[in-house]
Structure 1
């Protein structure tokens, strides 16, 4: 029986995590769930263990602190023993997880595929959230499997070896924001492609309130996306990204003091600079990708 892994982070809302775990099962694959508890104050093992489906192996990790999404997923990739990992938010719904495993496994038979973007729908609505489409062109045909250049955090899969060799998820993106885009770009720069699979459908029970304040989410989005452009893209991409996202941030938050703090963090960034080469830009052009901001 083939092996496949699932990576899950959990922070608060253990009830939704349990509902997700109840759906992770397969009679065709040996499934291992890597569950990282990001709640710093309490263990959730006793609460979730009874809900692991028959035949599924649970590997539970708790470091008594909130690693955030980027560092948490980075840790899952480091811990993984299987070749392929499906990464899901803890608040998703899927009708046939075994079918998703089969489609992911089939797609990774192409050695040039480094990551897979899923078809993500708003739970109970039957349509995609415009912010969870794996392409900046929101007219992207979601009913056709094709090459793309973005993975979306709520549901995607990676070749673990390729992800590790590309640098894994970033370790300095704070609690949240753009870590899957950063990894997508670096996978592409390493010469691999991101595939969107229209029939890998999951539903996301995304709360309108989220788990962080809107101001904090906007702060991390501004810092991480602009810092990513500064580290990896051409100077004019960075300048464009900084200007547009500065305006967006100020319009959304109206907080000049926080804007100055974010700008300081961006310009004083000492992260690893690894400018992408023409392999990346040719791929983006082929996919009609948009990387200006």
Structure 2
């Protein structure tokens, strides 16, 4: 029996035609190998029979319970995964590097404290790098070269399973948007590192199916930024984030954002008795961010 080293998890909701293409390409990349499992986490309300769709894979699991949990449903994959490397893949992201698993495996083998690997991602139809897809606060950084960083970008990211077992998965406080940054802070605060690796490449469609209108999405992302700043930023950076970031985000979203709505949602969250306690990152994590050339306030 072949050992499972890699667990590939795809979270899906309301993107059936695109998901079929994503899975078909993935099957071509994985043909002939059996050291992986594919986990499809289904946020669709109606049950979909995926037996034929998953048949080409050596090991496959379909998780569905009829509830759209948002991004936190990825935690089901973390709990179920048998591999020592867990790869999260979005349902509109096409992997362009056929041997991506071997590349991830080699990176984790070479660096014992490497906790996550974030990759080079481009959006179909766009020719310039998108600032929000650059896993660094320095948006002029050279994306053709690998570098250590302090945050990962979603779409396609690999984790050492031992890292997630130590830090925990995504917070249930985030239904969608910037959940990667919050988890990144917990990863580096536990002494793990994050690596940007440009030789693993993916194409993202950013398909609007099943998503809220842009204005609401950007407003929710700003709320989440407030929450992340409150939870993980030390003073005085927490206040710099809460004050300085909204104008930056508003300009980036080209006005497609309701700042007042975002602030109200944040205040509502603050008043919740069941919310996580504030736990700012420590000195070592702050030093690591600076050593990577990053900034705490962005």
- Normalising by structure 1, report the TM-score: 0.89
What is the match of residue 106 of structure 2?
Answer: 106
- Which aligned pairs between 1:1-293 and structure 2 lie closer than 5 A? 3-25=5-27, 26=30, 27-40=32-45, 42-44=46-48, 46=49, 48-52=50-54, 54-69=56-71, 71-97=72-98, 99-109=99-109, 110-123=111-124, 128-173=129-174, 175-207=175-207, 211-247=211-247, 252=255, 255=258, 258-268=261-271, 270-293=275-298
SS at match of 1:235: coil
Contact between 1:231 and 1:273, CA under 8 Å: does it hold in 2? yes
SS at match of 1:108: helix
SS at match of 1:7: strand
CA RMSD of aligned residues (A): 2.3
Deviations 1:13-45 (A, max 9, x none): 1111111111224234522111111112x112x
Deviations 1:248-285 (A, max 9, x none): 56773574752452241354353132221111011100
SS at match of 1:23: helix
CA distance in 2, matches of 1:213, 1:188: 33
Kindly state the Cα deviation for residue 94 of structure 1 after the two structures are TM-superposed.
Answer: 2.1
Residues 236 and 21 (structure 1), Cα distance of their counterparts in 2 relative to 1, 3 Å cut: same
Contact between 1:4 and 1:31, CA under 8 Å: does it hold in 2? yes
CA distance in 2, matches of 1:53, 1:144: 37
- Normalising by structure 2, report the TM-score: 0.88
Residues 255 and 58 (structure 1), Cα distance of their counterparts in 2 relative to 1, 3 Å cut: same
Kindly state the Cα deviation for residue 189 of structure 1 after the two structures are TM-superposed.
Answer: 0.7
Gaps of 5+ in 1: none
CA distance in 1, matches of 2:196, 2:259: 39
CA distance in 2, matches of 1:211, 1:250: 20
Gaps of 5+ in 2: none
Deviations 1:37-73 (A, max 9, x none): 1112x112x2x4323363432111112111101x111
